[in-house]
């Protein structure tokens, strides 16, 4: 399970881009503990932004407990992830990654989620905000059976 990215993770990168790469790596590896360690105690995850099947009120998942529950509700139910980042724009303490998250779901289904994924870090490199701009209906329209 690798991470497919278009930047060189070995090269010097802004802290927010490094945090985003570490986040994708932990998700791809299915390592909840490593993923949670990337977030500040008061961090917020909005994935997607606004009301959704993952966040009915659209207020995001707050703190370690909320982010852990988000993992259990979403990430834990995916058999495999592939991240394809087509572009990445770092500025200040944030990075906006443009790309596709491909999820392989139980039952042999695949869904491609196109979006913009924005990470903000504090001085120590911990993520304080992860905001994902993507459309549920658009992603679900890509659902298809994976051929072996």
**Band (3; pLDDT cuts 50, 70, 90):** very low
| 115 beta partners | 99
Which one has a higher pLDDT value, 9 or 72?
72
What are the pLDDT digits (tens) for 34-87? Answer: 999 999 999 999 999 999 999 999 999 999 999 999 999 999 999 999 999 999
Mind listing the pLDDT tens digit for each residue in 90-141? 999 999 999 999 999 999 999 999 999 999 999 999 999 999 999 999 999 9
pLDDT at 147 over 70: yes
Q: Do residues 101 and 108 lie in contact, with contact meaning Cβ atoms separated by under 8 Å? A: no
| Peptide linkage before 126 cis (omega within 30 of 0) | no
Residue 41's alpha-carbon distances to 12, 38, 45, 46, 107, in angstroms, are 26, 10, 12, 15, 35
Read off the pTM: 0.91
What structural domains does the chain harbor?
Answer: 3-145 (3.10.450.50)
Q: What is the DSSP string of 88-126?
A: EEEETTEEEEEEEEEEEETTTEEEEEEEEEEEEE-TTS-
Please choose, from the candidates 31, 8, 30, 40, the residue with its C-alpha nearest in 3D space to the C-alpha of residue 21. Answer: 8
Q: How far apart are CA 124 and CA 19, in angstroms?
A: 11
d(CA 91, CA 118): 11
Q: What is the DSSP letter of 54?
A: T
Are the beta carbons of 91 and 119 closer than 8 angstroms?
no
Residue in the block written with tokens 């695949």 = 110
pLDDT the model gives residue 11: 72
């Amino acid at each position: 399970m690798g991470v497919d990215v278009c930047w060189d993770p070995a090269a010097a990168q802004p802290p927010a881009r490094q945090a985003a790469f570490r986040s994708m790596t932990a998700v791809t590896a299915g390592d909840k503990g490593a993923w949670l360690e990337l977030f500040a105690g008061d961090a917020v995850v909005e994935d997607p932004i606004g009301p959704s099947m993952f966040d009915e009120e659209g207020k995001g998942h707050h703190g370690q407990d909320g982010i852990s529950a988000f993992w259990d509700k979403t990430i834990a139910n995916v058999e495999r992830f592939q991240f394809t980042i087509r572009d990445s724009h770092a500025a200040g303490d944030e990075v906006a990654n443009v790309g596709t998250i491909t999820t392989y779901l139980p039952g042999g289904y695949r869904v491609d989620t196109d979006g913009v994924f924005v990470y903000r870090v504090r001085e120590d490199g911990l993520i304080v905000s992860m905001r994902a701009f993507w459309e549920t209906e658009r992603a679900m329209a890509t659902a298809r059976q994976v051929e072996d």
